[in-house]
Structures are given as structure tokens and as C-alpha cells.
Amino acid sequence: MKKRCLDPNYKNYSKYGGRGITICPAWIDSFEQFLADIGPRPPGTTLDRIDEDGHYEPGNCRWATRTRTTSKQRRMKLMLRPGEKVTLAEAARRESGGRNLTERRPPDGG
């Protein structure tokens, strides 16, 4: 998080700090405050911003699986209509009539 937003020499800085993504000042100065706000990292998760255009701050960050964070990445966006970009997961959800494609259907096709 800090490298992405604060180090102009970091390889992906342009995708984070270079486009204005910032970090809550309390988190920059205190890992303890970050931990108090976000909680300990569960196994198999990574830090995720709920709004990918939002900042690293309380209320916009959570621990999420790599699958969840990858489906939200900017490079994964599809253009469905002019001016509307959605993730592949969102496009599939819409195509399925709102059903989460990972849900199991009852044997009767429910």
C-alpha cells in the first residue's frame, strides 16, 4: 500500500499514487492504527479497496481473497455500452439474470 501510493520509483506507482490514490494519514504514521481499523489479516487474503478509485482509508478497505480483488481490477473491465465499464464478474452476473454463477442450482433447475 505504501509503496504503491508513496514511492514514485515503484513499478505500479502510476496506477495508485500517480493517479491520486492516497493513504489515511493515521495509517502512514501508525501500523497499530491500521490494524485497529482493518483488523488482522486472515489467511489467504490481501488488502482490497472496495471502491477501486477510492483511497486507502477506513470504510474503503477490507481483507479479500485474490479472486475477489482480481475480478475488480481496472484491466478486467469490459465496455458493455458507451461510458459503462463493468467487471467480467458483473457482466456474467447480469447475463445470468442476477444469479451468482458460483451458486449451485437445485437439481430441478430452480
Q: How far apart are CA 74 and CA 62, in angstroms?
A: 18
The pLDDT tens digits of the residues spanning 23-41 come to 999 999 999 999 999 999 9
What are the boundaries of each domain within the chain? 2-72, 76-110
Residue 109 has pLDDT above 60, yes or no: no
pLDDT tier for residue 71 given thresholds of 50, 70 and 90? very low
Task: For the full predicted model, state whether its pTM sits above 0.85.
Answer: no
* 10/49 Cα distance (integer angstroms): 19
Confidence category of residue 5, pLDDT binned at 50, 70, 90: very high
